[in-house]
Chain A
């Protein structure tokens, strides 16, 4: 313990992990919620139904509370690359730094510059201008998702230049921005923020409905959320799948850890997929596991036999393997589990909607109870979702503290070059 406290690298890793995980919680709530605000305000302008106006006002209050913490926790993010990771910053500043610069000038400023009008401008500016301000806030927020994931996906798959004397020199900026991971990582993150925000809005609505407060009001937001979730939830599973595929192609070590896979499965044969397991790093095996026979080929390529071999962790020497395989394994399962749970919840609720069980007038029974409580309960639990996201971030293949622990101390040059090769 004392050793850790005198080890600046370990401390810096802890600081980075802590601030990044904490920061992550808030943007996922605000960026998606901003889109929701655009939707309800648009509906208000179109229908002039005061209900929508009240929705815009109500949720924007929640928005701004999240926003405040998002900004506050974002500040250390912006500066700690310099305060704690000076050699890293010097090595990749030409690209990574420019991208953070764009994020500030393009995204944060846009969001911040119109936020005042969105929150306090009611009655001061024309409704159309106000709507424009809301759109700009949402656009800015999502641009920041874009740029930060450009920066991050570039760290996953650096391209567009080469290392010269320990510094990454960019030859082609557009190639670096359009790095192999960019499109899928940006999309996956975009839908993650949208899905999280939607289900939190839905969860809060369900909670009010269950408590029989303002039921008609919150029924409306629940339905808007549900309508959007029909598209978002399945799409996120699909994009998650595509993300796994790119990990499979570019970062086989990570895939092996995500799947707690020790032995290589050769090409041309089917392979089992592990549903649950207890990885044992020192024994280089899983103490026990439950597998689904022949499923891996279907998951990766929609066919029984693998066309390329899937490498197991034993292909690498122990020092080159990720540590805490269990954490990576389970956080990946938690993430996809949440994805499937939310899609299932969406399907079930839509079914109830079609059956007419969602209308509050109809479903208040004689005792004044809201009938489909059984349905709303899971929505209220989806309020716990951000907590799940925490876990996703802690353990996400690469965002585990452990991964930081492994990667940060390596001279960044070595890392970037080795991934370029």
Chain B
């Protein structure tokens, strides 16, 4: 029974990590493309950018909804505390996503495209910014009492470190968005995104280095954990692997390869994610409440594994199928008869 009490929350930690990773990777390029659309001056290019996402953005965004529901069910305390502590950045994200979602459907039919262009670009930016603040604040830690209830103040989430995380995340999204567009477009447009990808790769790298340095310097708990074995070895390896991947990415961009930049970027995201997961584990509300304290009753976790667990391969299957159907370069109108 005791083993079960440990095992089930760990399983759910991993499942939530998977949902979050899928979300950040997939909606990451949607948001990145949205942010890139802000730099576009002509209508045709913007149309093409939005068309490249038209069929997938909703499924991608839904990973966030799935993640939210699963967090609510598996770790009710964490859902309650984190969301109420981060009310403002969460709603920043939600407002951004609202503008973006509506822009997708209404721009196509509208004569005044300007409004929807702004909604799309600024919405994507706002959503990414909100997510960055949420991420930054969660890594930094949320002040709670012994029962895990939030006791901090409304503006706790805003400081230079969470801002740094937010800006880096935005760069990361621009990077994955650019590499996605390299995959989906051709000609002049593709050339532009080789350039944006290179730029974003460099700025993301700088951000990541700053965060990596700042984390052990400013957080005692993180320092103690990171600098003692076995995590020490893992944390020695992750930055090295990261640098290797960035080098591979830049090389593929210089060679103007079409597919590999996207793959290297995904691997960079994955590596970052594993690193973050290891820093946070076993906490779900860093740095005080562990997954064991916040977990729902074992019966709830088992019940959810039965219902949600068997759906994971099915969800993955039809999502992949959708990408296969729409593989290849984008062209022309979305609805194409």
Interface, chain A (partner B; CB < 8 A): 61, 64-65, 67-69, 71-76, 78-79, 81-87, 89-90, 92-106, 108-110, 112-117, 119-125, 136, 169-171, 173
On whether the beta carbons of A83 and B91 are closer than 8 Å, the reply is yes
Apart from A75-B98, A75-B101, A173-B303, list 13 A-B contacts with CB within 8 A: A68-B105, A81-B83, A89-B76, A89-B80, A90-B80, A93-B73, A101-B304, A101-B308, A103-B69, A105-B307, A116-B58, A116-B59, A121-B325
A-B pairs with the 4 shortest C-beta distances? A93-B76, A82-B83, A116-B55, A68-B105
Stretch of B28-36, B224-232, B292-300 that contacts chain A: B292-300
Closest to A68 in B: B105
**Contacts A86-B83, A102-B307, A109-B62 hold; do A116 and B322 have CB atoms under 8 A apart?**
yes
Query: In the complex, A61→B105 CA distance in Å?
Result: 9
On whether the beta carbons of A68 and B315 are closer than 8 Å, the reply is no
1/0 contact string of B56-83 vs chain A (CB within 8 Å): 1011011101111111111011011111
Across the interface, which residues of B come within 8 angstroms of A102, CB to CB? 69, 304, 307-308
Closest to A76 in B: B94
Closest to B123 in A: A72
Across the interface, which residues of B come within 8 angstroms of A84, CB to CB? 84, 87
On whether the beta carbons of A100 and B97 are closer than 8 Å, the reply is no
Q: Which of A89, A110, A171 has the most CB of B within 10 A?
A: A89
On whether the beta carbons of A79 and B69 are closer than 8 Å, the reply is no
| A61, A68, A72, A90: the one within 8 Å of B76 (CB) | A90
Across the interface, which residues of B come within 8 angstroms of A171, CB to CB? 299
Interface, chain B (partner A; CB < 8 A): 54-56, 58-59, 61-63, 65-74, 76-77, 79-84, 86-87, 90-91, 94, 97-98, 101-102, 104-106, 109, 149-150, 296-297, 299-300, 303-304, 307-308, 311-312, 315, 318-319, 322, 325-326, 334-337
Across the interface, which residues of B come within 8 angstroms of A92, CB to CB? 76
Across the interface, which residues of B come within 8 angstroms of A85, CB to CB? 80
Main secondary structure of the interface of A (DSSP, over half): helix
Closest to B75 in A: A93
Q: What would be 10 A-B contacts, judged by CB atoms less than 8 Å apart?
A: A82-B72, A87-B80, A94-B296, A98-B72, A109-B59, A116-B59, A120-B54, A124-B326, A170-B300, A170-B303
Query: In the complex, A301→B66 CA distance in Å?
Result: 43
Across the interface, which residues of B come within 8 angstroms of A75, CB to CB? 65, 94, 97-98, 101
Minimum distance in angstroms from A158 CB to a CB of chain B: 15
User: Number of A-B pairs whose CB atoms are under 8 Å?
Assistant: 206
Across the interface, which residues of A come within 8 angstroms of B102, CB to CB? 68-69, 72
On whether the beta carbons of B70 and A79 are closer than 8 Å, the reply is no
| B76, B84, B86, B322: the one within 8 Å of A94 (CB) | B76
Query: In the complex, A85→B87 CA distance in Å?
Result: 11
On whether the beta carbons of A109 and B335 are closer than 8 Å, the reply is no
Closest to A69 in B: B102
On whether the beta carbons of A98 and B318 are closer than 8 Å, the reply is no
Closest to B56 in A: A116
Minimum distance in angstroms from B61 CB to a CB of chain A: 7
Minimum distance in angstroms from A114 CB to a CB of chain B: 7
On whether the beta carbons of B65 and A108 are closer than 8 Å, the reply is yes
Query: In the complex, A190→B80 CA distance in Å?
Result: 30
**Contacts A82-B80, A93-B73, A95-B300 hold; do A68 and B308 have CB atoms under 8 A apart?**
no
On whether the beta carbons of B315 and A113 are closer than 8 Å, the reply is yes
On whether the beta carbons of B308 and A83 are closer than 8 Å, the reply is no
Across the interface, which residues of A come within 8 angstroms of B311, CB to CB? 105-106, 109
| B104, B150, B303: the one within 8 Å of A68 (CB) | B104
Closest to A87 in B: B80
Across the interface, which residues of A come within 8 angstroms of B319, CB to CB? 109, 113
Minimum distance in angstroms from A282 CB to a CB of chain B: 37
